[in-house]
């Protein structure tokens, strides 16, 4: 078993979750779906959508909840939910949200990483989000010319290791906030947000790490600099090449846009399969403003490759893929790799992307199985 991994399949007691999730950490609750289920749904059902919490999920009252919009604006706003609905056009988008630590377990197999939260390829999901474009809200507030960033603050209470008690927060550059790719969402898959997914309001930032899609949204602040929140300044940073897993991340680069990646959701590592026909399934997702162009798979550890069928989907969302292969009896290392429509692919080796935070594992995904007729 990989370092720190909690691999317990359970039915969670929380009323917001109906289906089976695998608990990665219990306090605060972090859980992901069975991979085989994840790869079979173009739109991830709410009860299969991964849960990433940094503190206890607050129970906020939609009837009294207000969103503050302040900072470098001409007209600070205090918006009740009814104000959002009355003043702004409702927008709907299908967007993939992916934790920066997705596939961290693969990095920890190379060398230990800092986090006890050892995601496999399950910290990702795609939903139909509905709400109000942040660009419309900012236009109503009147952004001043020198503004450079927009910061989000959540209504949760977090206790980061070595840091102060704080709500979760983060920011995006002003051009992202005003691009139409950021939603102040109140609905998920046609229903009101559940508590564990950020009710009554959350940010949804297309093409950025999930940490920027702040849940339980209470404040939007337009400012000159990136958020000073602990999770922006001290946590979600990428520091490549330093094998000291206790090294500070402060010298690393702030994470933002996700990078092109792919994963195998079926079969699972160690599966014993009946040959000669083998079916592979999975997902591929591109970075900000791009889409997946092609996916290739290998059943011989990358010695030869075949194209996979890639499903259609809206821009900003993942693409599910599948392929049937004829294979001989024996042990097979299955591999997947993908390219986006700008020609950007994935690094072949996980060693090349290892980092002490365990973030952004975009290397080719590999699964070893045994086939027997």
17-26, 80-89, 182-191, 352-361: least confidently modelled range:
17-26
Confidence of residue 247 (pLDDT cuts 50, 70, 90): low
pLDDT recorded at residue 316: 84
- Concatenated DSSP letters of 185-224: EEEETTEEPPGGGTTT-EEEETTB-GGGS-SSEEEEEEES
Task: Count CA atoms within 13 Å of residue 353 on its CB side.
Answer: 24
For residue 285, the SS3 value is strand
Q: Which residues contact 90 (CB under 8 A, 6 or more apart)?
A: 130, 131, 132
- Rounded mean pLDDT of the chain? 91
In a domain, 81, yes or no: no
The owner of tokens 């969103």 is 67
In a domain, 14, yes or no: no
In a domain, 290, yes or no: yes
User: Tell me, what CATH number does 268's domain have?
Assistant: 2.60.40.650
Mean pLDDT of 2-10: 30
Given its phi and psi angles, is residue 60 left (phi above 0), alpha (psi -120 to 50 degrees) or beta?
Answer: beta
pLDDT recorded at residue 114: 87
Confidence of residue 7 (pLDDT cuts 50, 70, 90): very low
pLDDT recorded at residue 110: 94
In a domain, 138, yes or no: no
Mean pLDDT of 85-110: 97
17-31, 36-50, 115-129: least confidently modelled range:
17-31
| Residue 297 pLDDT exceeds 90 | yes
DSSP β-bridge partners for residue 278? 325
Confidence of residue 239 (pLDDT cuts 50, 70, 90): confident
pLDDT recorded at residue 27: 86
Domain extent for 317: 261-372
**What pLDDT, in 10s, does the model give residues 54-83?**
999 999 999 999 999 999 999 999 999 999
In a domain, 325, yes or no: yes
Q: What does the alpha-carbon distance between residue 117 and residue 16 come to, in Å, rounded to a whole number?
A: 21
**What pLDDT, in 10s, does the model give residues 252-262?**
899 999 999 99
Q: Read off the tokens for 204.
A: 């949804």
The tally of domains found in the chain comes to 1
| CA-CA-CA-CA torsion sign (199, 56, 112, 118) | negative
| Residue 38 pLDDT exceeds 90 | yes
In a domain, 297, yes or no: yes
Q: Read off the tokens for 277.
A: 């026909």
């Amino acid at each position: 078993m990989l370092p720190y991994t909690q691999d317990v399949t359970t039915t969670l007691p929380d009323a917001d979750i109906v289906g089976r999730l695998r608990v990665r950490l219990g306090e605060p609750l972090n859980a992901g779906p069975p991979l085989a289920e994840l790869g079979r749904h173009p739109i991830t059902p709410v009860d299969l959508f991964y849960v990433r919490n940094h503190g206890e999920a607050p129970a906020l009252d939609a009837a009294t909840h207000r969103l503050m919009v302040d900072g470098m604006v001409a007209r600070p706003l205090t918006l009740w939910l009814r104000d959002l609905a009355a003043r702004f056009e409702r927008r709907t988008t299908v967007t993939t949200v992916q934790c920066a630590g997705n596939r961290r377990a693969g990095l920890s197999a190379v060398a230990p990483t800092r986090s006890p939260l050892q995601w496999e390829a399950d910290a990702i999901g795609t939903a139909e989000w509905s709400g109000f474009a942040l660009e419309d809200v900012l236009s109503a507030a009147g952004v001043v010319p020198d503004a450079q960033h927009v910061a989000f603050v959540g209504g949760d209470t977090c206790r980061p290791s070595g840091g102060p008690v704080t709500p979760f927060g983060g920011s995006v550059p002003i051009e992202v906030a005003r691009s139409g790719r950021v939603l102040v969402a109140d609905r998920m898959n046609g229903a009101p947000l559940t508590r564990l997914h950020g009710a009554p309001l959350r940010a949804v930032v297309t093409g950025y790490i999930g940490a920027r899609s702040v849940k339980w949204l209470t404040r939007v602040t337009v400012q000159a600099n990136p958020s000073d929140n602990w999770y922006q300044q001290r946590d979600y940073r990428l520091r490549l090449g330093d094998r000291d897993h206790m090294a500070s991340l402060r010298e690393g680069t702030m994470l933002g846009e996700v990078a092109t990646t792919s994963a195998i959701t079926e079969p699972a590592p160690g599966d014993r399969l009946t040959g000669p026909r083998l079916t592979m399934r999975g997902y591929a997702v591109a970075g900000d403003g791009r889409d997946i162009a092609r996916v290739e798979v290998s059943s011989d550890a990358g010695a030869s490759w075949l194209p996979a069928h890639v499903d259609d989907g809206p821009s900003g969302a993942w693409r599910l893929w599948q392929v049937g292969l004829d294979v001989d009896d024996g042990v097979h290392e299955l591999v997947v790799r993908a390219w986006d429509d700008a020609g950007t692919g994935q690094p072949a080796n996980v060693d090349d992307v290892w980092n002490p935070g365990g973030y952004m594992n975009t290397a080719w995904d590999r699964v070893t199985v045994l086939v027997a007729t």
